Amino acid sequence: MAAPQTAPQLIEIDGAIGPPMASYVERTLDTAAEKNAPFVVIRLDTPGGLSSSMRSIIQDILDAPMPVVCWVGPKGARAASAGTYILYACNLASMAPGTNVGAATPVQLGGAGGSKTPAKPETAEQQKVLNDAIAYITSLAQMRGRNVEWAEKAVREGASLSAENALEKNVIDLIAPNLPTLLDKIDGWSIQTPQGSVVLHSKGASLHALERNWKEQFLAVLATPTIAYILLMIGIYGLILEGLHPGAFLPGTVGAIALILALFALHALPISWAGFALILLGAALMVSEAFVPSFGTLGLGGVAAFVIGSIMLFDSDAPGYTLPAVYIGSGAFVAALGLGTIVYFLAKMRRRPVVSGREAMIGLRAMALEDFAEQGYVRAAGERWHARSTSPVNKGDTVIIEAMEDLTLRVRPADPEKEN
């Protein structure tokens, strides 16, 4: 006996498409299947995202036992790049007025979010990527009975369409200004699913949205290039400070936690491990400058490695997964400031007077412990020393240490006029 149906499910794909979004869509579709929801509505507004996450979402949509309706909205929304594929994958596609779809060229070929200029693969690998993307969206278009020719154009040339033109070219099935209107318009439509043909009874239906759990929300925040980069910097500099000041504990503790969170976030991002390695190398070189003074050679090399690594860190131009230049510049500034601080203190230390050893005794004042003409004893730095003098010295006189020969001090009587 089939379980009683519940309210139709609503999934909101808003923003860049990545692993957290794919996880949320999968969980919502599974919940809808368990509760025997009559259909699912996806509200779509995305600039695109990661191909792997997009394909995961599409696989879940194609395997869903109930109809999946996609609505690009509200007004001003878009289904760009990966969003175009998701729109094509849904059983029923719709858009709000003032929205657009397209620019589905793979970003490695056509720039972030696709390009309106024809993609020109320069290598065999790029041609494979383009052909794979064309074949993928073509298969989705054929499955759903939509415009195959324009689907290929959206990938090959990065073409885009407004909602009205998309309806005219059979890219979508209808236009609806809002979700209630959409539900009214699709009422009575017959949709083919893996379980057979289903007739939608959507008029006046109330959509139920499944809230993201804390894990999905937490990962969504972490899986942002800016946040991951900031955590990485906090982790590295925290450990550096702990190394320079052992026993402080706070910098090391905060740094270790931040670094673990950063590595967790980077696992969910299209990271270039070469860039990550360069950042670590840059930090190590800058720390080495403090212990092995190289007149700035190690430090400057560290800053260069740090900046290059930051540029290379995220190996994707997918929308929402690039690192703003301002953060790279800020990271480089902090690195250069740290290097300058290290060099400054090293130079300052070189100018300090010697405070220990033989050199530290020269110029100190001592007190004669007895009368002597050539040799006798004086008290210097709290200790009793054997001393030689070319001038007679009386007990209690102040003398100046001029040199140190083995364990004997060479002294002269202090000149009161010069001392004053």
Count Cβ atoms below 10 Å from residue 97 Cβ, excluding itself. 14
Per-residue pLDDT at 374 exceeds 50: yes
Question: 14-23, 133-142, 257-266: which has the highest mean pLDDT?
Answer: 133-142
Of the listed ranges 59-73, 96-110, 193-207, 363-377, the one predicted with least confidence? 96-110
Quote the pLDDT of residue 116. Answer: 37
As beta bridge partners, residue 380 has: 383
Per-residue pLDDT at 6 exceeds 90: no
| Chain segment 144-187, per-residue pLDDT in tens | 999 999 999 999 999 999 999 999 999 999 999 999 999 999 99
Fold of 9-213: 2-enoyl-CoA Hydratase; Chain A, domain 1 (3.90.226)
pLDDT band at residue 420 under the 50/70/90 scheme: very low
Distances (CA, A) of 3 to 6, 33, 395: 9, 10, 110
Contacts by residues 96-99 (CB-CB < 8 Å, ≥ 24 positions apart): 96/71, 96/72, 96/163, 96/175, 96/176, 96/177, 96/178, 97/163, 97/164, 97/175, 97/177, 98/162, 98/163, 99/72, 99/73, 99/75, 99/162, 99/163
Compute the average pLDDT of residues 88-105: 95
Whether 119 and 80 have beta carbons less than 8 Å apart is answered as: no
Compute the average pLDDT of residues 360-378: 88
| Chain segment 21-54, per-residue pLDDT in tens | 898 999 999 999 999 999 999 999 999 888 888 9
Fold of 358-419: OB fold (Dihydrolipoamide Acetyltransferase, E2P) (2.40.50)
Quote the pLDDT of residue 113. Answer: 39
Per-residue pLDDT at 345 exceeds 90: no
Compute the average pLDDT of residues 45-72: 93
Compute the average pLDDT of residues 370-389: 90
Quote the pLDDT of residue 353. Answer: 57
Overall pTM surpassing 0.85 (yes/no)? no
Residue with more model confidence, 419 or 211: 211
Per-residue pLDDT at 372 exceeds 70: yes
**DSSP 8-state secondary structure symbol assigned to residue 111:** -
Quote the pLDDT of residue 11. Answer: 95
Quote the pLDDT of residue 323. Answer: 66
- As a whole number, the mean pLDDT across the chain is 82
Q: How far is CA 30 from the centre of its chain?
A: 30
Q: How far apart are CA 307 and CA 299, in angstroms?
A: 12
Residue with more model confidence, 216 or 11: 11
Quote the pLDDT of residue 174. Answer: 96
Whether 23 and 55 have beta carbons less than 8 Å apart is answered as: no
Q: How far apart are CA 368 and CA 100, in angstroms?
A: 96
Per-residue pLDDT at 1 exceeds 50: no
Compute φ and ψ for 124, nearest 5 degrees.
-65, -35
Report the SS3 class of residue 169: coil
Domain boundaries, the chain: 9-213, 224-351, 358-419
pLDDT band at residue 110 under the 50/70/90 scheme: very low
Per-residue pLDDT at 378 exceeds 70: yes
Compute the average pLDDT of residues 389-408: 88
Tokens of 55: 């394909």
Quote the pLDDT of residue 294. Answer: 63
Compute the average pLDDT of residues 348-373: 74
